[in-house]
Amino acid sequence: MSLFSIYSKSRTISGVSTHVIKLDHKFSKFNPKAVPAINIEELNSGIYALRHLTSALQSLNASPSSFLNANNTIFPTTELKKEILNATSSLPARSTQSLGTTVEAIQENTALATVLLINKGLTQLIDKVTEINLATLGSITTAQIVIKPLLGLTSLSNTQKKTVMASAVVPSPEELVIHVKKEKAEEIKKEQDKLREALEAAGTSQDEIDKLLATYANSFANDFIKNYIEKPLLAYRAEIGVPIKAMNQALLSIAAAVPDLTPDNANIVNGMITLRAIFEGLQTAMDTVPALGGDAEIIQIIQALTPYLSKTTFSEAELKTIYTATALPNKSTFDRYLTSQQVARYREKITSIYQKTISNLNSVRQTIQNNKKIIEEQLSMFQQAQACFTSWVDQAFKLKTAISGKFSSYALTASMEMFAALLCLSFMYEKLATPEKTIFDNFVEQFLKLRVISDGDFVYGWIAKMNAYQELAEYSLSTAVTNTTLLSDRVKARGIALAKDRRFFTDVGSKMQHLTQETSFPSYYMKQGNVYLPDLDHFMDVNLVKGTIESKFEEKSRNILSQFNAVAGAHVLTLQTQIAALDTQHTNLNPGSASFTEQRKTAVESWLKAESLGSSLIYMILNSQLPKQAEFLTPLIEEINFNNIAANALNDLLKITNEFAVTSVYYNFSSYLVQSKEGEDLFAGDYYEALLGLAREREYIARDTERCKRAAELINTLLEKIKHLPGVTTAQKQAMLNATSFYQYSLTITFNQLTVLDSLFVKLKMTPLTKDKKYDKQKFKITAFTDWIPSLAALEGFISNGFPNITPTGGLGPLFTQVQSDQQNYTTQSQTQQLTLQNQMTNIQQEWTLVSTSMQVLNQILSRLAGDIYSN
């Protein structure tokens, strides 16, 4: 019968009851100033509310060691464990250096040292226990017999080492109970007879009597062991524990180094750190209580896990063995040697390492996501380059049609698109991975060296002519050029710069330098007054529609494109496979389905049972819940930060490109002329209104050209800022670089489109007409070159809508649309993520409200408990 009564008192919460401990019973003999009547630590650790509170916190990791002084024990330890600590704290520490540098050497030297301790220790144990003869205990006798031949040996076989370790742990608790029951059978029988008489006199039923008598023998044996055997046995265990502790430390010192964490080795790293945590936790426990090292289960754990310490990779079965060991030693083993606080410290370490494994998995999953986004960006850029190459080679077929049909406008479009596509490929090339660069190195050079005109230009020469004209036109329209040497020098300088700075332009740049020496070069310009200006129609007649197309130009182009598409398609498939593999890896490393989930649950439950309630709550809040919430919120906040940075970075660019939104409205001179055309070079309408319209469009060209230059300067600055942008991931930075680079080469294309359009207007000659010798307000005349209206319409269309046959297209309208779309996407994503963050913060607030309420309940429980215990 207990010394105090426990009464249940109903609570308002269904299914839950609290216990009011009554210590004022006349038989309790409770003195609040004496040693506490009950172990408050154990009671506190066992409060059922703990499970509810831990569920509320949704956390599986906790410990107060970082915040509480473990030596400041509020509640005293038991007298027996005080004696264990006092007896073992002065034991000499063994140097791990003398044990060796290999597992075999350490185990052998430990076994040799243990042989002497077993031989001496068992003899002393037998002598110290005088109340019973331990010499007749079979396991002790056997151990003494098998150890004798090993005395004096300097080396041991594997079998002999196993014999030593097996002998070191005798006698077992079960063997002692059996031995005491056997040796004290007569005394036990007498006490059972007395107990039967007392129970029968009290009117106890026969079933109850039988149950009590059946348990009495074990109770007698356990009490006997505790009173007469336990203390000298623990002293013997402490002697054995010294070399075991030294062996454990030596094994730790030669353990394989834990590699840096990567997505590929996350499971291995988690296994290694868990294994080390077990050995380190046991080492700390044995440093505190060396007797623990002499226990059979401790030695078995060390022996079972030792082979894994030197490994740098594990099988699934080996990982399972490691994680299963985290639930060991059993509670009964620890309770024989350690206080509840000491057990909690060990369980805490194991629980903390599980939290680390979860953190590792979350960390590598973030790395995998980042790597996936990098490959997705890489794939996107490659596919852009693939589409650009395809549209570039496709111009060969259009060029054949234009040259064969002498369609100067069509030839101009194809030539401008060929140059623009190659320029874009050159920009994109900088963002490609090395294997991708190899693909383009091969096929771009093949196409550049195809001959376009029989006995005439190659593709690179054709592109050189178009770019030479664009450079010359831009220079002569913005500068008063008074001699042709300036034009030649300009083209040469640009050719040299292109050959030096831009991939794929080596032959193009070299050709541009030689063009100035060719007889066709004067067709690029004309003289008006004292200055030289671009001559678009003469340039097209002489350079773009003369000659005969090479007979196999189209066939060879198709072959190159076919081979390229096969290689590019295979590479795209490779990248898509890599992305799929990363998705699978991300799923496999989900902490929620980790292979150690059950073992982790067991380890945490063991820790919760060992730890005091208040301490566990402190640790769960500070070391588990807060880091977990931070781990969840950090990526979300980083995404918000990135989207805000990206959106703000595009604001200044958007201010410039906003003016491009209605380009189709004011680049429409050709539409006006087509609608008013009445005959050969004749147009209906007022001459001065038409002249004003032409002047206004050229003014638009000058204005937009200046805006393009300002936008290009801003983009160059932005690219440099992005390269050194803090607080963003590699994938995020790559996405911004790719998008901004797109604006860069789109602007370059658009700038050339504006230049060629402006050069066309130079060739237009508008004259008023007279009727009856008076100015005719209804009609005027424009003279220019053949196909000038289709050419004008095409060039205005390029500026408003971009090139029709290549990608990127260039053009003011598409550029505005792209910048605006990107900026809005960044802003929308940021707003969406901010809403998500707001919702998550609301959820977190609700969680902490629950935690606060739970701690108030805990405070009430402990206050009531303390009040009932110390009511006097």
Query: What are the mean pLDDT values of the chain's consecutive 10-residue runs (872 residues total)?
Result: 33 36 42 42 41 42 36 38 45 58 94 94 94 93 94 93 94 93 91 87 87 88 93 94 95 95 96 96 94 94 95 95 93 89 86 89 92 94 96 91 89 94 95 96 96 93 96 95 95 96 96 94 94 95 90 94 97 97 94 80 68 63 66 76 80 87 87 88 92 94 93 90 81 86 92 96 93 89 90 93 90 91 84 80 76 76 74 60
- The DSSP letter of residue 70 is T
What is the C-alpha to C-alpha distance for residues 609 and 340, in angstroms, rounded to an integer? Answer: 9
- The DSSP letter of residue 25 is -
What's the pLDDT score for residue 827? 83
CA angle 39, 42, 47 (to 5 degrees): 125
For 824: left if phi > 0, alpha if psi spans -120 to 50, otherwise beta; the answer is alpha
What is the C-alpha to C-alpha distance for residues 21 and 5, in angstroms, rounded to an integer? Answer: 7
What's the pLDDT score for residue 8? 34
What's the pLDDT score for residue 202? 87
CB 550 within 8 A of CB 437: no
What's the pLDDT score for residue 626? 67
Sign of the dihedral defined by the CA atoms of residues 129, 133, 134, 135, in that order: positive
What's the pLDDT score for residue 481? 94
Across the chain, which distance is largest between two alpha carbons, in Å? 153
What's the pLDDT score for residue 610? 62
DSSP codes, 194-255: HHHHHHHHTT--HHHHHHHHHHHHHHHHHHHIIIIIHHHHHHHHHHHHHHHHHHHHHHHHTS
Report, in angstroms and rounded to the nearest whole number, the Rg of the chain calculated over CA atoms. Answer: 45
Find, among 333, 359, 358, 357, the residue nearest to 346 by Cα. 333
What Cα–Cα distance (Å) separates residue 787 from each residue in 411, 623, 673, 782, 783? 11, 78, 13, 13, 11
For the chain, the domains span 78-266+288-298, 662-809
Find, among 731, 711, 727, the residue nearest to 818 by Cα. 711
What is the C-alpha to C-alpha distance for residues 835 and 468, in angstroms, rounded to an integer? Answer: 54
- Paired sense of beta strands 677-679 and 17-22, if any: unpaired
What is the C-alpha to C-alpha distance for residues 556 and 393, in angstroms, rounded to an integer? Answer: 10
CB 272 within 8 A of CB 327: no
What's the pLDDT score for residue 622? 62
pTM of the model: 0.76
Match 């003398």 to its residue by tokens: 98
What Cα–Cα distance (Å) separates residue 104 from each residue in 111, 759, 794? 11, 87, 85
- The DSSP letter of residue 290 is G
Instruction: Compute the residue count for the chain.
Output: 872
Amino acid at 267: N
- Paired sense of beta strands 5-10 and 17-22, if any: antiparallel
